[in-house]
Amino acid sequence: MSTSTGYVYFVIVTPNDNPIFEMSYSLVSSGDKILTPDHNDQFRAFASLDQINEKLRFSETPYLKNVDKFNEWFVNAFISPAREYKTYPIDFEGLKFILLHSGLADDKIKSFFYDSYETYIKYSINPFYKHGGEINSPSFSKRILDIAQKYL
């Protein structure tokens, strides 16, 4: 259920390529632990943005699967679908959910992305959250970690 290194990096990026949430965590048998993101992981994830944008042009689904590879690291992406919300004046379109890992099952990654996206929507309809702003909420981080434990 874990990667060979037991480590995963996850980031949510706005359509303008600004990170609003990032988390690194260890998936070891002693329990999941949130780690400080490594600059190399940030570089790998952001270096894949061109590949993500290229695949997005030809994809009809929000889940882009494996979009890039750096040595033993794979990059998977999910793009929030375009929708109009009449109730909330919020634009969810174009958010990029990026996962850096060293080999996880595709169906589990897809489920992780969909649940993470749902969690983001629930968080962002909070009237105190500025859409597109950085997410520093411990409860949001905990929920993403719970989703990672469930699927990754």
**Chain centroid, CA 23 distance in Å:** 9
Average the pLDDT over each of 72-76, 89-93, 116-120, 126-130 and give the range with the smallest value. 89-93
Higher pLDDT among residues 20 and 103, named by residue? 20
CATH number reported for the structural domain that contains residue 50 in this entry: 3.30.450.70
Q: Does residue 56 form part of some domain?
A: yes
Q: Is the pLDDT of residue 83 over 60?
A: no
Would you say residue 1 lies in a domain?
no
Identify the domain containing residue 65 by its residue range: 7-151
Number of domains in the chain: 1
Cα atoms found within 13 Å of the Cα of residue 45, Cβ hemisphere only: 27
Report yes or no on 60 lying in a domain. Answer: yes
Would 84 be classed as within a structural domain? yes
Classify residue 138: in a domain, yes or no. yes
Strand order in the sheet with 73-79: 31-35, 19-28, 7-13, 96-101, 73-79, 63-70
- Give mean pLDDT, residues 28-47: 71
**Sequence-distant (≥ 6) Cβ neighbours of residue 55 within 8 angstroms:** 64, 67, 77
Rounded to the nearest angstrom, the gap between the alpha carbon of residue 140 and the centroid of all alpha carbons in its chain is: 13
Specify if 41 maps to a domain: yes
- Whether 2 is in a domain gets the answer no
- Is 121 a member of any domain? yes
